[in-house]
Structure 1
Amino acid sequence: MLHIAGAVLFLGNIIVTGLWMASAERTGSTAVLKFGAHAVNWMDVFFTAPGVILILVSGLPLASQWGGITRVPWILAALLLFVLSGVVWVGLLIPDQNRMIRLSDPVLSDESLPSAFFRCLHRWYVWGVVATVLPLISLFLMVLKPKLW
């Protein structure tokens, strides 16, 4: 049950966060985008990170019930995709999130955000899709348990 709760927290937050930021951008409001940039980091702290912890803390013992991570191809593939998603998150998304905050903080709510903010946001969208699709594939592997090799 902890594994499923972790997956719901993790996947739910990473999917909703991207949609939320896209909606914030569509408003054209500097104040909404500034709020969104800060909120994304907080949601990672309260939802994404606890989801990751629950997935790993419960998933590793569950994998041992199947014979271990390296003995079951779909578990190994799912874990590798999950780890790769984490690399994208830590290496690309978090730095972009922090950069968006730094770029937006000095801007007053009635001023326009700098173009560098939007370049960063659009790069964040692209890598966010990658970081979302990888664990979704992982989820499908966990549910379907296909014979891979």
Structure 2
Amino acid sequence: MTYFVLKYLHVVGAMVLLGTGTGIAFFMLMAHRSRDAAFVARTASVVVLADMVFTASAVIAQPVTGYLLVRELGLPLSEAWIAGSLLLYGVAGLAWLPVVWIQMRLRDLARASAASGADLPADYHRLFRWWLVLGLPGFGSVMLIIWLMIAKPTW
């Protein structure tokens, strides 16, 4: 019974990470494409909140439930697919942390532009490019982790 509860929580956490990340990326991209500073500011505000509530919760829950699952099954952390997942989790985390800061900065820059009636500044566009670049390894790592969780390949 414990195993199935842990597995359920772990799978839900993976869905939250992937789903929230995908949704955030879609809504931020659509807001950015509008070039409407007020729309970008509102969207980025919701995105930052979603990252703090959903992504951060899943980021904490995943290693906890993963470790408890590994312990429940008696598997070593050195098992190839587990070690690979942990490495990719680190990559995703290293990409996600600056992305959260960038999202807050994008929100603030868009708010200032909307308040003054100005176009989004060059700093906004530079940071948005970094947001996209860092999002790729973050999202890709989560996709690979999910594949490893399902396939459990032996190398």
Equivalent position to 2:76, from 43, 53, 68: 68
Distance across 2 between alignment mates of 1:147 and 1:114: 49
**Equivalent in 102, 123, 136 of residue 108 of structure 2:** 102
> Which runs of structure 1 show a deviation greater than 6 angstroms over 4 or more consecutive aligned residues?
none
Name the structure 2 match of 1:140.
Answer: 147
Distance 1:98 1:45 in 2: 11
Normalization by structure 2: what TM-score?
0.87
How far apart are the structure 2 equivalents of 1:32 and 1:101? 10
Superposed displacement of residue 25, structure 1:
1.4
Q: Give the total of aligned pairs.
A: 146
TM-fit CA distance, 1:99: 2.0
Question: Structure 1 residue 66: deviation in Å?
Answer: 4.2
Among the aligned pairs, what percent are the same residue? 28
Aligned to 1:29: 36
Aligned to 2:54: 47
Q: CA deviation at 1:30?
A: 1.1
Which moved further from structure 2: 97-106 or 138-147? 97-106
Tell me the SS of whatever aligns to 1:106: helix
1:54-110 CA deviation, whole Å, 9 max, x = no partner?
21221101112142212x1101101110121111111x2122122213322322254
**What SS does the aligned partner of 2:113 have?**
coil
Deviation at 1:121, TM superposition (A): 0.9
Instruction: Report the aligned-residue RMSD.
Output: 1.4
Normalising to structure 1: TM-score of the pair? 0.90
Instruction: List alignment gaps of at least 5 residues for structure 1.
Output: none
Contact 1:6 1:53 (8 Å CA) reproduced: no
* Unpaired segments ≥5 residues, structure 2: 1-7
Once residues 52 and 108 of structure 2 are traced to their aligned partners in structure 1, the CA distance between those partners, rounded to angstroms, is: 18
